[in-house]
Structure 1
């Protein structure tokens, strides 16, 4: 657990701040969950051979679910979480699939495509957090998934310039086309013009819509867990507020929130928790899950022990392996000398 605490303290200031409001029975498993997710992300991101990295993670997940985790702190801690909370395997496996999509450099033509990616790399965490709170109500799970997608859309909005300079593009390409922006030209020279600002504003509007939907689910969580989730909601949404103050320019600048702002949002979250204990249940709670997150909601609500390997994950691994082979062939061709 000490290693897991270090992972979150250095890996995510926002998540670390929000986790301080969670009761220890949820906070410690949440730290274990975060540490394993961080390990998975780094294992793929920092490895030149992406397909091998994802295959290795899948094997580590096999060992976790077999009760024989590798002798590494995140694996051992996550194995305990899986056993104690009956964590459905389909959820962390969806996270691996999303990491595979990152590794292939996949782009997203529409907002729905981007939500499908966000479902895998972020809504999975929201659903697993619900499981850690012993909440399996499908309506609460759907709202937790909404929160995860909203947070990921906020992250994408904040990091447009940073991602572009690293050759990554997450903005819906049909939105870029509608603004007269060629994706390849944008990657070669990211510019905070009127078109990109409108796209960031539009993406944050979608995140805001989902933050409001997510709030309806917080009131059905255990009372002592609500402040931490309200805090996550407000801290991440606050990043969007900072972006708005820059005119939605996330290319020449990076939106950051201050420690004082985080403290204010923690206090607001405590107050909203008290109010939630006397407020009527919102009808928004019963809204249908996003089409892109429905599979996660169903997996967590079922408590099913039946599991089969994901065909989608295999397809992703196949794409990764093909990318690795092409890159290796290009390297060999580049070093070959004519006779």
Structure 2
């Protein structure tokens, strides 16, 4: 069980750091909401550890060590670590899921860019769909079809985040829109990063990304009736609140360079009410055939890991250790190169 003081710390962290999730989490039953707050608090800590520090490589390696210690039953003496360790123990969380998140954060530390939309999906699978799969585990859901739809929702939410932050990311020299879209539009990515402007071509890319997100939001809905009844309103709420950010961007002419998409309290309250109604209606509707759609190829490894009924692995494994170790090796090489050139 999560210690009450650690849980209170996690709740405060999410209330101040992720208002959209905090609003949606209020509709979850306590049996899911409390471990979800612990999960999101650790994910927020991990994201901030890389995003807010200049020594990003060192931050990633510290996170790796913290995750290893958590899975070894020796968490760092910090509320997020202790709470996440309790969640892992109680729900038998597959190691491959937080491992995927760490890999995505390592890609951020490398400043990786993505040639195609599939590459953006690869990144979104790690930093967002992995969290969706972990949420399913917290609900005791290990069905592969339901997991695939949860991963769809995670990718959709991350695409929305990318669309919202085009300008903010560009000013920080980060680029997540596919490079082949820039080539098709005749826009030099470096010129855009040097002087981010919301011209029609950038707006068109933002609109295109939100269209991809909308398709995945729609597809994800087929999985919500497979979740425990008490958890459905909270997941519907997450879907509507995040999609609402995309709606705000659309109403602003898809300009997320000079303006950051936001929603207000009244809108959130409306989506929470809608989510309660939709959750109740799911008991009356037939199962959608969309439930059985194949997972995105980019999220299939998460579905496979979470759907396993065997006990979790305690270490870097699940057939992906070589891939992640290669990422760490590249990070180390880059860091050494930067130090030698200093």
Q: Same fold (TM over 0.5)?
A: yes
Which residue of 2 is the match for residue 19 of structure 1?
A: 25
Q: Distance in 2 between matches of 1:50 and 1:162?
A: 18
Which residue of 1 is the match for residue 264 of structure 2?
A: 258
315, 323, 328: which one pairs with 2:326? 315
Q: Distance in 1 between matches of 2:252 and 2:341?
A: 42
User: Once the 2 structures are TM-superposed, how far is the Cα of residue 308 of structure 1 from its aligned partner?
Assistant: 4.0
Q: Distance in 1 between matches of 2:114 and 2:146?
A: 28
Consecutive unaligned residues of structure 1, counting only runs of 5 or more, are 332-339
User: Once the 2 structures are TM-superposed, how far is the Cα of residue 39 of structure 1 from its aligned partner?
Assistant: 1.3
177, 183, 189: which one pairs with 2:183? 177
Query: How far does the alpha carbon of each residue in 1:198-245 deviate from its partner, in whole angstroms, 9 at most, with x for none?
Result: 111110000000000000000110000000000000000001111111
Q: Distance in 1 between matches of 2:67 and 2:25?
A: 25
Query: Is the Cα contact below 8 Å between 1:158 and 1:255 reproduced in 2?
Result: yes
User: Once the 2 structures are TM-superposed, how far is the Cα of residue 41 of structure 1 from its aligned partner?
Assistant: 1.2
Q: Distance in 2 between matches of 1:272 and 1:138?
A: 23
Which residue of 2 is the match for residue 337 of structure 1?
A: none
Q: Distance in 2 between matches of 1:308 and 1:107?
A: 25
Query: Is the Cα contact below 8 Å between 1:60 and 1:70 reproduced in 2?
Result: yes
Q: Distance in 1 between matches of 2:56 and 2:323?
A: 16
Residues matched between the structures, number: 331
Query: How far does the alpha carbon of each residue in 1:231-262 deviate from its partner, in whole angstroms, 9 at most, with x for none?
Result: 00000000111111111111011111010000
Which residue of 1 is the match for residue 161 of structure 2?
A: 155
TM-score under structure 1 length normalisation:
0.96
User: Once the 2 structures are TM-superposed, how far is the Cα of residue 303 of structure 1 from its aligned partner?
Assistant: 3.2
Query: Is the Cα contact below 8 Å between 1:124 and 1:148 reproduced in 2?
Result: yes
Q: Distance in 1 between matches of 2:50 and 2:144?
A: 31
Matched, 1:168 2:174: yes
Matched, 1:225 2:231: yes
310, 322, 328: which one pairs with 2:339? 328
Q: Distance in 2 between matches of 1:113 and 1:271?
A: 36
267, 285, 292: which one pairs with 1:286? 292
Query: How far does the alpha carbon of each residue in 1:58-80 deviate from its partner, in whole angstroms, 9 at most, with x for none?
Result: 11111111111111101110000
Which residue of 2 is the match for residue 56 of structure 1?
A: 62
Which residue of 1 is the match for residue 4 of structure 2?
A: none
Q: Distance in 2 between matches of 1:97 and 1:273?
A: 34
Matched, 1:4 2:10: yes
SS in 1 for 2:284: coil
Q: Distance in 1 between matches of 2:64 and 2:255?
A: 38
Query: Is the Cα contact below 8 Å between 1:142 and 1:289 reproduced in 2?
Result: yes
Q: Distance in 2 between matches of 1:285 and 1:197?
A: 32
Query: How far does the alpha carbon of each residue in 1:278-333 deviate from its partner, in whole angstroms, 9 at most, with x for none?
Result: 111100000000000000000000133345442222111122212222222232xx
Matched, 1:102 2:108: yes
SS in 2 for 1:266: helix
Which residue of 2 is the match for residue 141 of structure 1?
A: 147
User: Once the 2 structures are TM-superposed, how far is the Cα of residue 271 of structure 1 from its aligned partner?
Assistant: 0.4
Q: Distance in 2 between matches of 1:308 and 1:71?
A: 22
Q: Distance in 1 between matches of 2:131 and 2:257?
A: 27
